[in-house]
Every structure is written in structure tokens, then in C-alpha cells.
Structure 1
Amino acid sequence: MDNAASDGVVRLRAREILREMARTLWYLRAILAGLLLLFILLTIGMYRYGGPVETANRTPSTMAETVYFCAITALTIGFGDVVPTSIFGRIDAVLLGLIGVVFTGLIVAAAVRGVHEAARRAGAEA
């Protein structure tokens, strides 16, 4: 164990990484809340004006299916079982995808910062 410390290897603790990640997400809370609000507004817009339909039987989607479609689109999975049929719906779907990419990027950035800060603090203590 002493050999590892003399080689400059620093052990990181998951608790410290998660604490730093949570601190970063707390600083970003206004941006994340704004993205969530925008997601909700775009989901409501999709339901009202996007004309989402199920591809299996071409029937109008329920609110639950629309929320499912919007979540799958924001996560950039896109199964294709529910699709928008209006121009507004297609633009809305693109915006939902962009929101999902930004949201995911912020979460990943917070995780990377958490690892970086935990490593910096652990290195300072060693």
C-alpha cells in the first residue's frame, strides 16, 4: 500500500465523486430547471399541435404516448412507434432532441468535473 502512494497513485472515493457531481448539478439547477420546463412546454405543444400518431394503426396518440414519444426523442433513442404528422410537430421533435443532448451533456460534464475535483482534492491530501 505504501508503494502505491509513493508511485503517485491516488485513490478516489465514489462518495467524493458523487458529492462533487451533486455540487456541480446544484450550481446548474437553474439551467436544468429551465430545460425541464422547456421540455414540458414542448411536450404539451406536441400533444396539442404536433399531431402525434401511432404508426401501427395511425390513430392519434394519447397524452401518455406523447410524453413517451417526447422522452424517447429527448434521449435520442427514437423507436419510431409514435411520429409527429405536422410541420410544428417535426420542428418540436428536433428541439426536443437538442434539449436532450444539452441536458445529457450537462450531466456528463458534472460527472467529469466530479471526478476531476475529487482527484484534485485527493492529490492535495496525499
Structure 2
Amino acid sequence: MATIRNESGQLPIRPRHAIAEFTAVLWQLRSILIFLSVLFVLLSLAMYYVGGPVDAGRRSPASLGGTLYFCAITSLTIGFGDVVPTTPLGRFLAVALGALGVLAMGVMTAAAVQAIQAAARRTLG
């Protein structure tokens, strides 16, 4: 049976190996990921109770769902502006959520890179 190689003569990384390695890396980082998730929930609840989020379209206080939506969008550093914090503490919490999102995405990106490198090493030998 012939071995299939890519244009540069190397064996391709198998997706199932990359996924298995990514899962293993996430398992190793589980305590960090749990901490970041708990911190997100705590910051989201703080935003709901003391941050004064307002639905800009209706000019009324945001619901819990609207606040969670705002926190997720802020953590992903997208920020549509349809829900905004109205208190100084709310603005501080929004900045903290943005920093938390950048940190979480950095951890996930590093995990993905580590997984692909491990899958490549696994493929090569």
C-alpha cells in the first residue's frame, strides 16, 4: 500500500489526531479553563446586578439574558453597542470582561497550536 504525501513530500496531519491532541491539551488546562469560566459567570452576575446594563434600542434596563449576551460579546471583543453599561463600575466590569476574553482566546489558541504540533510529531514518527 502506497503512502500518500502532500506536495512537499510530508505526511498530512490527520484530523482525528489533531482533535485527540486538542482534547488532551484542553484536559491538561481544565483547571485554568474552569477558573476562567467561573470568573466569567461572576463578572456577568456583577454586571447584571451593579453594572447598570441598558438596552440601547429600548432605553430600558437589560434583562439577564441581555446582560449575558453583552458579556459574551464583550468577552469576544466584538462589542456591537446595542447593550451598554451605564455606571462607572459597569464600565470597569466591561473592561475586565474584555481582558478576560483576550486571555481565554489566548489560552485556546495556544492549546490549538500545541495540539497541531503534537499531531504533526505523531504523524512524522
Runs of 4+ with >4 A deviation: none
Change (3 A) 1:66 1:4: closer
The alignment covers a number of residue pairs equal to: 123
Change (3 A) 1:104 1:97: same
Give the Å deviation of 1:57. Answer: 2.5
Structure with greater proportional helix content? 1
* 2:117 corresponds to: 116
> In the alignment, is residue 90 of structure 1 matched against residue 82 of structure 2?
no
Aligned equivalents of 1:120 and 1:14: distance in 2?
A: 13
> In the alignment, is residue 20 of structure 1 matched against residue 21 of structure 2?
yes
Structure 1: gaps spanning 5 or more residues = none
TM-score in terms of structure 1 length: 0.91
Change (3 A) 1:87 1:122: same
Structure 2: gaps spanning 5 or more residues = none
SS in 1 for 2:80: coil
SS in 2 for 1:83: strand
State, as a whole percentage, how many aligned pairs show the same letter: 47
> In the alignment, is residue 42 of structure 1 matched against residue 49 of structure 2?
no
SS in 1 for 2:79: coil
CA RMSD of the aligned region, Å? 1.6
